[in-house]
Amino acid sequence: MATSRGGAIGPALVLHLAVLAIVVVSEVIGLIRVPIGIGAVILLPILYAFALGIIFNPNVLKATGKVLNHDATKLAGTMITIAIMPFIARFGTTVGPQIEKIIAAGPALILQELGNLGTILIAFPVAVFLLRMGREAIGASYSIDREPNLALIADKYGLNSPEGAGAMGVYATGTLIGTFIFAIMPPLVHGLGIFDVRALAMSCGVGSGSMLAACTGGLAAVVPDQKDLILALAAASNILTYATGLYAGLFLALPLTEWLYRTCAPADRASTMH
């Protein structure tokens, strides 16, 4: 028993030291602004940390496998949910003081969930006609495929199905590059001067903790005087996305994507429908 306990401590200690080193390096680099036309790309420490985490993954850089063994990488996966809890709790504390401004946002905060249908309009044609995907296109394009969306696909089709494969592919892609995209886009879009900062803050709440952090960090960097409002609206939006996103996917997005596939799928892939 003592041996198994000692063996469990080793990977945990190595993992925490590796994470600490990545955090220190990322914070030392700090925030970098890259001017692009009327806007600017904001490079945040979370981006460097994410990039370093990918680079030092033993599956990417074989040399790190001598230190970060299988037990350490397996532990890292289970620690994600625990590690993100204080961050989500911190966001929750920003909602109360800004509750009047959140209420003032009115129906926009609730109806924004319908904006997820835009994922279908943009991604579905690319998946079916450009990438020539089969029923994988349904799981890949009906949402941004975060945890609640994966649960819906798993329950309806199973993750071993073509729909499940499509959903898992988008989930993995979002995990790898979603943080980068969500950190870079808000400052650029804000620089266009088209959208109110409150709308951009709401758009940060897509049901993903890492994307939420990257998005709000980038937006708050260009509008620091609105930081508290940005955090509050983004947190409220994220909570509502979790609350309403599953139902929007179940009753709107998924049936719509199914219908589009039955209607638009080329004949050579019609036989894969069930």
Any domain includes 209 = yes
Any domain includes 7 = no
Cα–Cα dist 28/33, whole Å: 15
Any domain includes 273 = no
Secondary structure of 163-221 as H, E, C letters: HHHHHHHHHHHHHHHHHHHHHHHHHHHHHCCCCCHHHHHHHCCCCCHHHHHHHHHHHHH
Any domain includes 138 = yes
Dihedral sign (CA 100, 103, 108, 114): positive
Cα–Cα dist 256/43, whole Å: 37
Residue whose entry in the numeric block shows the structure tokens 């890292």: 76
Residue 114 in tokens: 């319908």
C-alpha gyration radius of the chain: 21
Report helix, strand or coil for 145.
coil
Q: Where in the sequence is the domain holding 217, given as residue range(s)?
A: 12-97+104-265
User: How many domains are contained in the chain?
Assistant: 1
Q: How far is CA 108 from CA 30, 96, 150, 165, in A?
A: 34, 19, 26, 33
Any domain includes 64 = yes
Any domain includes 29 = yes
Cα–Cα dist 1/5, whole Å: 6
Q: What is the pLDDT of residue 25?
A: 92
Residue 101 in tokens: 């401004």
In sequence order, which residues have a C-beta less than 8 Å from that of residue 214 and are 6 or more positions away? 44, 46, 47, 179, 180, 182, 183
pLDDT values of the chain reduced to their tens digit, one per residue, 274 residues = 334 444 445 777 888 888 889 889 988 998 787 776 655 666 778 778 878 887 887 777 777 777 777 777 777 766 766 776 676 666 566 666 666 766 776 677 777 767 777 888 889 999 998 988 889 999 999 988 887 788 888 888 987 889 988 988 888 787 768 777 887 888 888 888 888 898 899 888 887 777 888 888 888 888 889 888 898 888 888 877 777 777 888 888 999 999 999 888 766 555 554 5
Q: DSSP states of 77-114 as a string?
A: HHHHHHHHHHHHHHHHHHHGGGHHHHHHTTHHHHHGGG
In sequence order, which residues have a C-beta less than 8 Å from that of residue 50 and are 6 or more positions away? 179, 180, 210
Any domain includes 108 = yes
Given a contact cutoff of 8 angstroms between Cβ atoms, the answer to whether 209 and 242 are in contact is no
Any domain includes 4 = no
In sequence order, which residues have a C-beta less than 8 Å from that of residue 112 and are 6 or more positions away? 202, 203, 237, 240
Q: Considering only CA atoms, which of 44, 102, 125 is closest in space to residue 238?
A: 102
Q: What is the pLDDT of residue 95?
A: 61
Rounded to the nearest 5°, which phi and psi values hold at 196?
Answer: -65, 145
Give the helix/strand (H/E) hosting 43. strand 39-43
